[in-house]
Each structure stands twice: as C-alpha cells, then as structure tokens.
A and B are shown apart, each in its own frame.
Chain A
Amino acid sequence: MSIFLLKRLLTLVATLIGASIVVFAVLEVLPGDAAQMLMGPDAEPEAVTAMAQQLGLDQPALTRYWQWIAGLLHGDMGESYVYGSPVTELVWERLAVTVPLAIMAMCITAVLAIAAGVFAAANHKRWGDVGLMGLAQIGIAIPNFWFAILLILLFSVKLQWFSAGGFPGWSEEAGGGFWPALQALLLPAIALAVVQAAILARITRSAVLEVLREDFVRTARAKGLSRGAALWRHVLRNAMIPVVTVMGLQFANLLAGTIVVENVFYLPGLGRLIFQSISNRDVIVVRNCVLLLAAMVVVVNFVVDVLYAAIDPRIKAGDI
C-alpha cells in the first residue's frame, strides 16, 4: 500500500479514537450526574443511586471509557435503557433503513449534479449555464426538511402516489418487500439529494471550467478532437478529482440531513433513533450512535482518498 494511503489510514484511526473521547466527554462527564439526568429532577435519591450503580457510574470516568471501548472491540455496544435491548441489535435494524437511504440519495445527487455541472460548463455563459446555476442557487437555499414537506404535499396529499411517511420493512412477511421499501425511501432520498446536488453541481461546473482552461485540452483540440470528445475523454477524469473529494466531505452533511428527514417521513432509521434517544436521555444509545455516525463519515472520506489515488496516477506514485 502506498505511503499516502497508509498515512490516511492512521489519520482515520486517530480521528476515531479522538471522536470517541469527545463523545464520551460531552455526554457523560460534562453534564455531571448522568443518572440524575436520566431519572429526572424529581426522582427519589435512592432510585437515582440505584440507577447510578446499574450504569456503573460509581466507577471513575476513565474506567467507564475503557469498558465502553473494550466492549466496542468485541462488538458489544451495551444495553439501551429505554428499549431494554442490546444497542447492537437496535442499530442494525436502523441501519437497514439509513444506509440504503444514504446510498440512494448519494446516487441521485451524483447523477443530477454531474450532469448539470458538465452541461452548464459546456454551455458557459449561455442560457443553459445561467438557468442551471440559477436553479442551483435556489436549491442551496431550500431547507431539506421544507422540501421534504413540499414533496409530501405534492405527491402524497395531492397526487396520492406515495404514502406520507412510514416504512413498511424489507421483508415480505412483515408486510413489506423490496419494492415497497424502495418506494418509501424514494421521496426522502430526493429531499436529501436536491440540496446536495445543487452544491455539487456548482462545484462540478467550476471544476470542469478550470480543467477546460488547461493546456492539455488545447493540445487535445489541436489533435483534431471535437469539443465534445475533448470534454468527455480528457476533461472529465481530471475534473472528477475535486468533485469526488467534495462528495466525500458532503457525506457528513448527508448523514446530518437524515436526522431531520427521517423525522419528517417517520422512517425508523439511525438518525431518528439518535434524535429520539437524545429526547429520552438514553445516553448509551446516543454515544454509540454518534460514534457510529462519525465512523461512517471518516470511513467514507478514506474511501474517497482511495478513489483519489485510483483516478490520479500522480498520487499512486506515493509522492504526496
């Protein structure tokens, strides 16, 4: 493996460790008495002490932290106070909704944004460009949850093509199935995708315009390639480098967006779980889920770096 990727891997591990420390600190150490927080201000002191013992809060913070990390390395995330079941099970169920949702949203974003960005760049300063970039400006300004509500108003209330929320499940026995599940995820994915696509379209357009200015594009034209052929064969691959990087960075925003959008559509996903657990003061679930989200972001960025090395041969040589 090249030095470049090795360094990135080390950064990944370090970030995860750092993230776990921060999450732990914010949730458990800062607010003071976690058991009190869980039980509420009016609880009996004995009940609070019992809860504290159950949570292992009588032990010093460092020990609790190690216990948590040790558990994680064995795949054990602890038990949820509210649901009474292992957190790992809960998380697994919820991921089955959030991961497909995120993937769908990312795909829609990529297709829309790259098509729009390339088209706008190829028609620089003409109506296609101005029009698309105007749309992009509007797209950036729209809150994703408002767009979600508007989609529901149009497609569920008015046209009644889709249900207004909820998730039927992937398995047919439980009343769901593959296609119904996908259908339930479609509107949420679009709501998430539109804002991201608007941002990415602008980035794609500037990346393509930048590359169009490069000398090697002029060389390609001098060889007899038409504008379209030069764009397709020479420009795109170079322009994808910054685009893919930004997509990776946007993934964090996408995940944050799922928290809100899953609430709008009543989807039983990871984002909704986090939100509900925060409201319920279910500290154990919250810290594991937040760390999981952070891990997903970091891993995706690592994948982006791998892709980056694959696209740009100058990186493979390991001189960065």
Chain B
Amino acid sequence: MSRQTDTRASVPNYPTRAFTRAQPQGFGRRALQHRSFVLGALLTTLLIAAALLSFAWTPGSAYEVDMDAALQASSSRHWLGTDAFGRDIASQILVGARASIAVGLIAVGIGLTLGVVLGLVAAARRGWVEEIIMRLADFTFAFPALLSAIMLTAVFGAGMINAIIAIGIFNIPTFARITRASANAIWARDYVLAARACGKSRSAITLQHVLPNIAAVLVVQATIQFALAILAEAALSYLGLGTQPPQPSWGRMLSEAQTLMFQAPLLAVWPGLAIALSVLGLNLLGDGLRDLLDPRLTRER
C-alpha cells in the first residue's frame, strides 16, 4: 500500500518546516556581537596603546620640572594641565600606563606560572601533596593581599620590583586553587581514565589533556587578576610603597593630588579615571571571554 521511497530525497522544495531556524555562528561573529567583550577589548587596547605610545611620543614632558607652569588648568599646550612641579599631566598619565601594565603583566605572569604548576601537581598527585598545597593556599586567605604586600615592600624596600614580587606572590594561591578545581574535573572524565588505562604517565596526561581544557578558565582568570594587580599597584604607589619617583605612577599622582585638593581639585580626577577605565576594560574583557569561551563550545582533545 505504501510506496517505500526514499522520502528525504524526494521532498519537494516548498517550506516543510513550521519555522525557519537561526544559523549557528562562529567565534569571531559572536565576539563582535558581545557588548562586554567589545567594550572591554577597546578599553584594554587603549591602555596598551597608551603605554606603547609613551615610548615614542608624549604631548609634553612627564619629567621636566618647570615651576613657572605649576598648577595650570588645561590648555592647548597642557591638555590636562600641570602638577605642582609644572610637569604635564597628560604625559604622566601616558607614561604611568607603563608601570601599571608592567606590574600587571609580570605579577600575573608569576602567579600564573607558579600557581598553575602547583595546581596541576595537586590535581595529578592527589593525596597528601594536594592537601598540603591546598591548606597553604587556604591559609593565605587569612592575610589580606594588600596588607601582606605592604609588609613585604616595607621590609624589603619600596619600589616597582618589590611591588611586582609581592603582588605576584599573592596571585599564586588564587591560580593554584582555580587550576586544581578545574583540573580535578578533567581528571574525572572518561577519556582521561582511558588514557591512564593505556599507561600514559600523569605528566603526559596533564600536558596533553588537562592543560588545553582548562586554558579558557585560566585566560579569563588572568584578565581579572591583571585588573586586580593594577588596583594593588595603585594602592601601593598611593602609600608610597610602589613605583618610586621620578617614574610616574597613577597611584602616586593621586596621593600628590590629595594634598592639593583645595587648590587644584581636577588633579585628582585624571589618574583615578585612568585606573578605573583600565580596570573596567580588563574586567569587561574577562567577562566577555568567559561567556564566549563557554565550555559547551570548546572541543575537547
């Protein structure tokens, strides 16, 4: 009674679906549609551009003292005005970006490298090794990071290098915890069990299976820690413990501005704005990346 035809092939060309379906999109497309990501990427690029630009050109001089031009309001020559020593604010902001980026990059780099190694080891070895590493990481939570950074820089001397080391040390437990948590989830997966059954060593599994799959989480966390590092560097410089003069630093600019609040209130606005925009940009970038690198869409190796 019924024709046993290949019905799919002979389906006529008029609409056979109740609704048309939306097309799935590639990463680049989705990235450009994601508001947080775009804004974050823009601001972060601005930050990096400012720092790079400062090596080649600044509108005025960030270092030259010129007492005649002290505390001027913004003009065509000094776009954002001058500080108490006649130095151009706009230039200081551009050069200050260098300190923020340097501290952020290196401190997070330290924390990332050492923290990830510790986390991977903890997840691979389990047992008492894991316990010790995690207890140590938990323990550091009793010490507010800023407090310890202040202690370390005070004991070992103020300056950008020590600030970087202090902030870097406090990134280690954060990355260790997050690495271990994500790595443990991967270790529990079936294909890892299969790899172990085939006799693959733990380090091989860690490098080939675990690390590529937690990379997305680490990237997102790194951008967030970068933002926190910038805030920490600013706080340390504000207290006089971070980047030292004559190297411009946004935090120190704020502390100088505070003493002149009644005479030149705008001095306090620009450096703080620079910090806020940089941190905002990095946070938005991190949030955007987190949404875009959703585990549903990463292919597992």
Asked whether A176 is an interface residue with its Cβ less than 8 Å from the other chain, the reply is no
Instruction: Tell me whether B208 is interfacial, beta carbon within 8 Å.
Output: no
Docked CA distance A279–B272 (Å): 25
Partner of B146, one of A15, A149, A256: A256
- Judge whether B262 and A157 touch: CB under 8 Å: yes
Instruction: From B51-59, B81-89, B150-158, B183-191, give the one contacting chain A.
Output: B150-158
Name the segment of A47-55, A115-123, A134-142 touching the other chain: A134-142
Query: B210-247: which have CB < 8 Å to A?
Result: 227, 231, 234-235, 238-239
A297: interface (CB < 8 Å): yes
> Does A26 lie within 8 Å of B152, measured CB to CB?
yes
B265-293 near A? 1/0 per residue, CB < 8 Å: 10011011001110110011000000000
Residues of A within 8 A of B268 (CB): 146, 149-150, 153
Residue of A30, A149, A294 near B258 (CB, 8 A) is A149
Q: Contact between B155 and A31 (Cβ–Cβ < 8 Å)? A: yes
Q: Are B151 and A143 interface neighbours, CB within 8 A?
A: no
Known: A153-B268, A264-B258. A143 touches B143 (CB 8 A): no
Set of chain A residues within 8 Å of B239, measured between Cβ atoms: 259-260, 263, 275
B261 contacts A278, CB within 8 Å?
no
* Cβ-based interface call for B147 (8 A): yes
Q: How far is the CA of A252 from the CA of B146 in the complex (A)?
A: 10
Nearest-CB distance from B172 to chain A (Å)? 15
Q: Please pick, from A140, A157, A260, the residue contacting B238 in the complex, using a CB distance under 8 A.
A: A260
Q: Does A249 contact B (CB under 8 A)?
A: yes
**Residue A274 CB within 8 A of the other chain:** yes
**Residue of chain B at shortest CB distance from A195:** B231
| Alpha-carbon gap, A253 to B142, bound state (A) | 10
Interfacial chain A residues near B143, Cβ < 8 Å: 19, 22, 252, 290, 294, 297
A111 to B154 alpha-carbon distance, docked (Å): 36
- Among the listed A153, A260, A286, A298, which residue makes an inter-chain contact with B235, where contact means beta carbons less than 8 Å apart? A260
Interface residue? B144 (CB, 8 A)? yes
Q: In the complex, what distance in Å separates the CA atom of A142 from the CA atom of B283? A: 12
Chain B residue contacts of A152, Cβ below 8 A:
261
In the assembled complex, the Cα of A263 lies from the Cα of B279 at a distance in Å of 23
Question: Would B284 and A137 count as touching, CB distance under 8 A?
Answer: yes
Question: B142, A27: Cβ atoms under 8 Å?
Answer: no
Cα of A26 to Cα of B262 in the assembled complex, Å: 40
Chain A, 292-303, contact with B by CB distance < 8 Å: what is the 0/1 string? 011001100000
A150 to B254, CA, bound (A): 11
B137 in contact (CB, < 8 A): no
The secondary structure that dominates the A interface is helix
Q: Say yes or no: B144 contacts A255, CB within 8 Å.
A: yes
Asked if A294 contacts B142 (CB within 8 A), the reply is yes
B99 within 8 A of A: no
A171 CA to B61 CA, complexed, in Å: 51
* Residue in A closest to B156 when the chains form the complex, CB atoms: A31
Partner of B151, one of A141, A150, A257, A278: A278
Which of B155, B268, B272 counts the most A-chain CB atoms under 10 A from its CB?
Answer: B155
Decide if B275 touches A146 in the complex (CB within 8 Å).
Answer: yes
A252 to B284, CA, bound (A): 25
Q: Cα distance A253–B238 when bound, in Å? A: 17
Known: A26-B155, A149-B258. A274 touches B235 (CB 8 A): no
CB pair B280 A141 closer than 8 Å: yes
The reply to whether A146 and B276 form a contact with Cβ atoms under 8 Å apart is yes
Which chain B residues (120-140) contact chain A, with CB distance < 8 Å?
139
- Let me know if B205 is at the binding interface, CB within 8 A: no
Tell me if A24 counts as interface (CB < 8 A to partner B): no
Q: Which residues of A contact B142 (CB under 8 A)?
A: 15, 19, 252, 294, 297-298
- In the complex, which residues of chain B have a beta carbon less than 8 angstroms from the beta carbon of A278? 150-151, 154
Determine whether B114 belongs to the interface, using a CB cutoff of 8 Å to chain A. Answer: no
Contact A293-B144, Cβ < 8 Å, known A146-B276, A153-B268, A275-B150: yes
Chain A's closest residue to B234 (CB) is A143
When distances are taken between beta carbons in the complex, the residues of chain B under 8 Å from A140 are: 279-280, 283
Query: Do A138 and B146 form a contact, CB below 8 Å, given A26-B155, A146-B254?
Result: no
| CA distance in complex: A260, B231 (Å) | 12
Q: Does A45 contact B (CB under 8 A)?
A: no
The residue in chain A whose Cβ has the minimal distance to the Cβ of B43 is A141
B195 to chain A, nearest CB (A): 33
Residues of A within 8 A of B277 (CB): 141
Of A142, A164, A256, which is within 8 A of B144 by CB? A256
Using A137-B280, A141-B277 as known contacts, say yes or no to A279 and B154 having CB atoms under 8 A apart: yes
User: In the complex, A143→B272 CA distance in Å?
Assistant: 7
Instruction: Give Cα A293–Cα B231 distance, bound, in whole angstroms.
Output: 21
Q: Of B154, B275, B283, which is within 8 A of A143 by CB?
A: B275
Q: Chain A's nearest CB lies how many Å from the CB of B131?
A: 13
Q: Which one of A141, A153, A253, A275 has the highest number of Cβ atoms from chain B below 10 Å of its Cβ?
A: A141
Report the separation of the CA atoms of residues A263 and B146 in the bound assembly, to the nearest whole angstrom: 14
Does A131 lie at the interface of the complex (its beta carbon under 8 Å from any beta carbon of B)? no
Residues in B neighbouring A141, C-beta threshold 8 A: 227, 275-277, 279-280, 283
In the complex, what distance in Å separates the CA atom of A142 from the CA atom of B280? 8
What are some 13 contacts across the A-B interface (CB < 8 A)? A26-B152, A141-B279, A141-B283, A145-B238, A146-B271, A153-B265, A157-B265, A256-B147, A263-B239, A286-B151, A297-B141, A297-B143, A297-B144
Nearest 6 pairs between A and B by C-beta?
A256-B144, A146-B272, A141-B280, A256-B146, A278-B154, A141-B279
